[in-house]
Amino acid sequence: MLRTTIRNLMARKIRLVTTGIAVLLGVAFMSGSLTLTATITHTFDNLFVDVFAGTDAYVRGQEAFDASGPGNFGAVTRPRVDASLVSTVAAVPGVKAAEGNLTGYAQIVGKNGKAVGKPGNGPPTFGGNWPKVAAFNAYHLVAGHAPEADDQIVIDAGSADKGDYAAGDTATVLTKAGPIQAQVVGVAKFGEVDSALGSTFVFFTDRAAQRYLATPGKYDGISVVAEHGMSESAVAERIRAALPTGTEVVTGARMTKENQDDVAQALSFFGTFMNIFSIIALFVGSFIIYNTFSILVAQRSREMALLRAIGASRRQVTNSVLLEAFVVGTLAAVLGLGAGIGVAAGLKALLDVIGFDIPATGMVLTGNTVIVSLVVGIVISLVAAWFPARRAAKVAPIAAMRDVAVERADRSRLRIGLGGLVTALGVLALLGGLFGDVSNPLRLVGLGALLTMVGVAALGVLFARPATRLLGAPLERLRGVTGHLARENAMRNPRRTSTTASALMIGVALVGFITIFASSAKASLNKTFDDQFTGDFVVDSGTFGFGGLSPELATRLRDTPQVAAVSSHRITSVELDGAVTQLNGFDPVGLERIADIGIVQGKAADLDATGLAVQEKKAKDKHWTIGSKVPVTFAETGTRELTVRAIYRDHSVAGQPGLNEFVGLAVFERNVPDAFDSQVYATLAPGVSVTQGRAAIEAVTANYPNAKVQDREQYKKAQTAQINPLLALIYVLLLLAVIIALLGIANTLGLSIVERTRELGLLRAVGMTRRQMRSMIRWESVLIALFGTLGGLGVGLFFGWALVHALADQGFNVFRIPVVSLAVISILAALVGVVAAAVPARRAARLDVLRAIATE
Amino acid sequence: MSTSTAAYTDKARKVYGRGDTEVVALDDVSIAFDAGQFTAIMGPSGSGKSTLMHCIAGLDELTSGRAFIGDVDLSTLDDKALTLIRREKIGFIFQAFNLVPTLTALENITLPLALAGADPDQQWLDTVVGTVGLADRLRHRPSELSGGQQQRVAVARALASRPEIVFADEPTGNLDSRAGTEILAFMQKAVVELEQTIVMVTHDPVSASYASRVIFLNDGRVVSELTDPTPESVLDRMKQFGE
């Protein structure tokens, strides 16, 4: 039997190569994304080892709330410590040196007037105090000297290069205290590199750092180096005894580990995101394997029957097919693993292009990646080939005597029944996950989507004939008998047509879904903005939480006579009624004149230093009314009781979604020391034209190069444009699934052509030209592709509809079907059919007529 | 009877392989097929009869010499022109797999016309369909027809475009004797009543006796010829070559 298997593999090289490529692409993508994730993790791991190399212990404030979760990366959860604690710690026996440590937002402005770095979607832009103890300083000076006065700074070599600065220059630095002028007195490198993973750093004296970045008299924490011979844990133990309540000490090793874990957790989201696309690719690939093996088995049923007739057992026949799949799967998985390294590099480049700057050096291929890729590739191949293998074994020995053995084209009731059941389960799971109250909705939704697609693929056999009949109807008029034949060929084996189309169906379903979802998101955003926003300008920092605009900017806008009302928007992480969330802050009085968020109870003006505004539905769910007390824990000031003072209708303001509650700026001023405005909204005074207003506002923002002044239309456009890079990324990633589907169509056509050799020969003999032959195959391919597209659009439409309605709470108030985009998708899918047909059509056209009709 | 020539060859030579494995399938065959005649080509297997037919029909290329349909030299034509010749001037009846399974009987009959984008001559079509007796089967697919009926459709298809010449390759080879007799009678009728030209390759003396002329091939050469044959005279002649 083994020999037979090997012979078969050799005889069908081309088919199996295409099948193998389908698996290979999926595996390559999976190993590529795993490799990239591992590489990034490894890079950060090393970074933190370097940063904390000289730190034996670290003293810091106790965590006010636990924000360890993938969505809360970088959330500040600890209060700062008093500067006086440094001497206390330094006095502990066994402590060789202790020094306060401070890091915050600062952004250097280049000589060309542009801010260096993009903290919104790139590496962070830090400011900090220059550590005087060398052991704590991951940077070392390559020019100049350390800052000695409050107007002196040291910058990293990367910033010096980008900003075109050298020691001795005067530079502008953006801080929460506004833009400041400082003299660059030194340039430093991080180890051997210019800057740490693309982040920028501005070093101040301790006092200047406290003033510009944090709070006078406070440090983030205290770094400690122990006396020689003293272990990390021993020195930490001694320090612990000396600490006041509310503070804690951890070892340097623990600091390294915590930071590494935080990054790993933040990256887990990225890993999951990429894995979803790997799974999609492999899922689509499994359809190709299933289909190819089904057709191969059908074409070989005489051979299988002969084997059975001469005494091969069913198991031997099944195993011979599975062995073929195993060989194909293994080869594809091994090659895919290798290709994955290239994919990782490609993904990194792609993310860079789209604007997600990813720091990584070298590529790290972990054992985990190797094992997962190989196992997944092989298992997928075996599982997908299992059904055809079973069918091979069921071929009766008598079939060997029959003339032609064709694939059973029946619509087995079992298939329809199972397909219906799986579809129903899928839809239920999907809707349950979206609308129900379940613990892990994302997983349920994913499972539901997967089941729905499998079910619809199985049911496709019911629709293949009528749908291709309908789609092909215009073809006859357009292409005469060639079109007629193409249509008949697409209809002749509904099972094959539907399985082939399924792969594309999945791809199109996802593309269609994303397109509909994005279009609805944009429409919702625009509608909400138009409905509620009455202001004229938005000054946007492009950041969310870390850094932003100095509050000084809003103050200066308030003093501008052309501006009638101003409200700034701030964000901070808090724990609100037991859940970690992003708390928004606005100037409540200004807000009322800028946006109508629909206050249904209470007054915005009542939002004082202890006031809270809650969205209507959330208030109802939580049974909060005006006057209810809600505990809110802030990193710096701990738990405060806020009182509900207003209840409002909208889920978002000015296109910023997730507005389930907000507070007045007074709450921020009391509890959040690092005050940055993420945005500032402005309404012009009566009689001031938009042009005059813009001139007045830009006169203020001229000093803040990170501020972008946008009128209503510009802002709307910018907000909706934010979706585009992500959308582009998803499209590119889904392209993979479409390419695999294309391979599948090509494969099926190739196999069909082998099967129809005689028929094609006959057509050529009675006068079909090569061009007509190519056209016939091409149109058959286009029909299959369009059938898959139609199904895909249907499924995508359903997914989109379900998700948009499930997210009504997040401000999705418009379900929009982007007709033009969907039409473009259909046309592109038809083109996929044309491309897929290229090779098979050429082969069919080159068919040796004589041999084809003479074949016995 | 018309005396014009429907097709002919001039020193047609076909060699397969090279050197030691060289096989001469056609050895300078010069032969003409008159229009309006039913000619049978006979010979044992390997005699070159199928090769001869394939080469005259533009399905295969000669190694040297020339083959003509009417006065068109096939060796000067490219694939496209050959295809058009087959479509417009030649009809084919093969031993089996004559029909496209996805098309109805009528669609199969008019297939060469449809490929040419031409409208069928309805009157002629009715005559042909009537001759082969298929009027009530036109909407059926090949799988719904018996073997004999399928071959009748094939005959009708070969005649539908009113070709200059029809080539039939063992058209009764896969049929039982009754259905075979029927097909041969239809072909004879097509020549006599509809003035068509048919060249049939066969190894069956009874089939050959339906033709008005029989050409005997052996080892790639024309070795003999008979006019107005009977099964017996054909059989006698075959025995001379010791089959």
Overall residue count recorded for chain A in this entry: 856
Nearest chain A residue to B83 by CA distance is: A767
Q: Which residues in chain A (741-800) have CB-CB distances under 8 A to chain B?
A: 758-759, 762-772
- Looking at chain B, how many residues does it have? 243
- Alpha carbons B159 and B166: distance in angstroms, whole number: 7
Contact list in A for residue B83 (CB cut-off 8 A) is 764, 767-770
Is 50 exceeded by the pLDDT of residue A343? Answer: yes
Q: Give the residue, A588 or A98, on which the prediction is more confident.
A: A98
Q: Is A468 on the interface with B (CB under 8 A)?
A: no
Contacts of A352 (CB under 8 A, 6+ apart): A358
Chains A & B: contacts with CB separation below 8 Å? 71
> How far off is chain A from B180, nearest CA to CA, in Å?
21
Question: What is d(CA A573, CA A551) in angstroms, rounded to the nearest whole number?
Answer: 18
User: Looking at beta carbons, which residues of chain A come within 8 Å of B88?
Assistant: 767
Mutation for testing the B interface, residue in A766, A847, A848 having most B CBs under 10 Å: A766
Rounded to the nearest 10 degrees, how much is the dihedral formed by the CA atoms of A51, A55, A56, A58?
Answer: -100
Contact check, Cβ <8 Å, B115/A484? no
Q: State how far the Cα of B113 lies from the Cα of A215, in Å rounded to an integer.
A: 91
pLDDT digits (tens, 9 = 90+) for B114-167: 988 888 889 999 988 888 888 888 999 998 998 889 999 999 999 888 899 999
Assign B3 a pLDDT band (cuts: 50, 70, 90).
Answer: low
Q: Is the separation of the CB atoms in B208 and B229 below 8 Å?
A: yes
E-strand stretches of chain B: 5-16, 23-34, 38-42, 64-69, 72-73, 90-93, 165-169, 198-202, 213-218, 221-227
How far CA A706 is from CA of A110, A177, A539, B178, in Å, comes to 11, 14, 10, 95
Evaluated on CA atoms B118, B123, B127, B132, the torsion sign reads positive
Work out the burial of residue A422: count CB atoms within 10 Å of its CB; fewer than 13 is exposed, 13-18 middle, 19 or more buried. Answer: buried
The kind and range of the H/E element at A190 are strand A178-190
- The secondary element (H helix, E strand) that includes residue B124 is helix B122-132
pLDDT, average across residues A746-760: 87
Of A492, A766, A769, Cβ closest to residue B102 = A492
Name chain B contacts of A480, Cβ cutoff 8 Å. 114, 117
The alpha carbon dihedral of A829, A835, A837, A840 has a sign of negative
Which amino acid does the sequence have at A48?
F
Backbone angle region of A623, left / alpha / beta, with phi > 0 → left and psi within -120 to 50 → alpha: left
Compute the distance between CA of residue B192 and CA of residue A19 in angstroms, rounded to an integer.
56
* B80 in reach of chain A (CB within 8 A): yes
With contact defined as beta carbons under 8 Å apart, do A36 and A394 qualify?
no
The band of A241, judged by pLDDT with boundaries at 50, 70 and 90, is very high
User: Residue A546 in contact with residue A664, Cβ under 8 Å?
Assistant: no
* Nearest-10 Cα torsion for A445, A449, A452, A456: 170
| A759:B101 CB<8 A | yes
Alpha helix segments (H runs only) across A181-313: 206-213, 232-242, 252-299, 301-309
pLDDT of A59 higher than 90:
yes
What pLDDT shows up at residue A692?
93
Distance from CA of B109 to the nearest CA of A (A): 11
Residue A137 near residue A201, CB atoms below 8 Å? no
Is the minimum CB–CB distance between A849 and chain B shorter than 8 Å?
Answer: yes
Residues in chain A with CB shorter than 8 Å from the CB of B84 are 767, 769
Q: Which of A854, A453, A582, A570 has the alpha carbon at shortest distance from B97?
A: A854
- DSSP structure class, residue A656: B
On the question of pLDDT at B107 being above 70, the answer is yes
Return the residue in A404, A469, A481, A764 with the most chain B beta carbons within 10 A, the one to mutate for interface testing. Answer: A481
Full set of structural domains in chain B with CATH: 35-61+76-240 (3.40.50.300)
**With a CB-CB cutoff of 8 Å, which residues 475-504 of chain A face chain B?**
480-482, 484-485, 488-489, 491-492
Q: Do B86 and A763 touch (CB under 8 A)?
A: no
The neighbour count for residue A378, using CB atoms within 10 Å, is 22
pLDDT of residue A10: 65
pLDDT cut 90: percent of chain A above it: 46
Interface ipTM: 0.88
Asked if the Cβ–Cβ distance from B157 to A772 is below 8 Å, we say: no
Instruction: Count CB atoms within 10 A of the CB of residue A629.
Output: 11
Residue in A484, A762, A767 nearest the CB of B87: A767
pLDDT at residue A545 greater than cutoff 80:
no
Strand partners, A233: none
What does the alpha-carbon distance between residue A690 and residue A715 come to, in Å, rounded to a whole number? Answer: 14
CB contact under 8 A, A480 and B117: yes
| Distance from C-alpha of A353 to C-alpha of A345, rounded to nearest angstrom | 12
pLDDT of residue A854: 66
How near does any CA of chain A get to the CA of B46, in Å? Answer: 14
What 8-state DSSP symbol labels residue A677?
B
pLDDT in tens, B9-36: 999 999 988 878 888 889 999 999 999 9
Amino acid letter, residue B241? F
Domains in chain A (CATH in brackets) are 56-251 (no CATH), 463-531+720-856 (no CATH), 542-706 (2.40.70)
A297/chain B closest Cα distance in angstroms = 22
Sort residue A449 into left (φ over 0), alpha (ψ -120 to 50) or beta.
Answer: alpha
A771 vs B contacts (CB less than 8 Å): 80
**pLDDT on residue A354:** 65
Q: Of A422, A407, A507, A514, which Cα lies nearest the Cα of A459?
A: A422
Is some CB atom of chain B closer than 8 A to the CB atom of A852?
Answer: no
Cβ burial of A354 (10 Å; 0-12, 13-18, 19+) is middle
DSSP at A310:
T
Strands A638-648 and A629-634: antiparallel
Which residue of chain B is at minimal alpha-carbon distance from A776? B115
How does residue B1 score in pLDDT terms, banded at 50, 70 and 90?
A: very low
Residue B128: count of CB within 10 angstroms of its CB: 25
As a whole number, mean pLDDT of residues B56-72 equals 90
Q: Which residues pair with B26 in a beta bridge?
A: B14
Q: Which residues of B touch A409 (CB under 8 A)?
A: none
Question: Using 50, 70 and 90 to split pLDDT, how confident is the model at B2?
Answer: very low
Query: Nearest-CA residue of chain B relative to A759?
Result: B100
Residue B154: closest C-alpha in chain A: A766
DSSP readout, A563-627? Answer: EEEEEEEEEEEEEETTEEEEEEEE-HHHHHHHB---EEEE-GGG--TTEEEEEHHHHHHHT--TT
Which pLDDT score is estimated for A405?
Answer: 44
Closest residue in A to B166 (Cα) is A766
Residue B173 contacts A, CB cutoff 8 Å: no
Residues A492, B103: C-beta atoms closer than 8 Å: no
- A143 touches B: beta carbon within 8 Å: no
Nearest chain B residue to A476 by CA distance is B114
Query: Which residues from chain B sit within 8 angstroms of residue A853, using beta carbons?
Result: 59, 94, 97
Nearest residue of A to residue B51 by CA position? A850
The answer to whether the CB of A437 falls within 8 A of the CB of A444 is no
What is the per-residue pLDDT for A185? Answer: 96
Mean pLDDT of A453-479: 87
SS (H, E, C) A42-97: HHHHHHHHHHCCCCCEEEEECCCCCCCCHHHCCCCCCCCEECCHHHHHHCCCCEEE
**From the CB of residue B28, how many other CB atoms can be counted at a distance below 10 Å?**
15
Over residues A670-725, the pLDDT tens digits come to: 999 888 898 999 999 999 999 999 999 999 999 898 899 999 999 989 888 888 88
Subunit contact B115:A768, Cβ cutoff 8 A = yes
Residue that is written with structure tokens 């904390």 in the block: A52
CA distances, B116 to each of A325, A327, A640, A853 (Å): 45, 47, 87, 21
Distance between first and last Cα of chain A: 26
Chain B interface includes A406 (CB < 8 A): no
Residues in chain B with CB shorter than 8 Å from the CB of A491 are 102
pLDDT exceeding 90 applies to what percent of chain B? 31
- Whether A203 and A108 have beta carbons less than 8 Å apart is answered as no
Tens-digit pLDDT profile for residues A484-519? 999 998 888 888 898 889 999 999 999 999 999 999
**Average pLDDT score, chain A:** 88
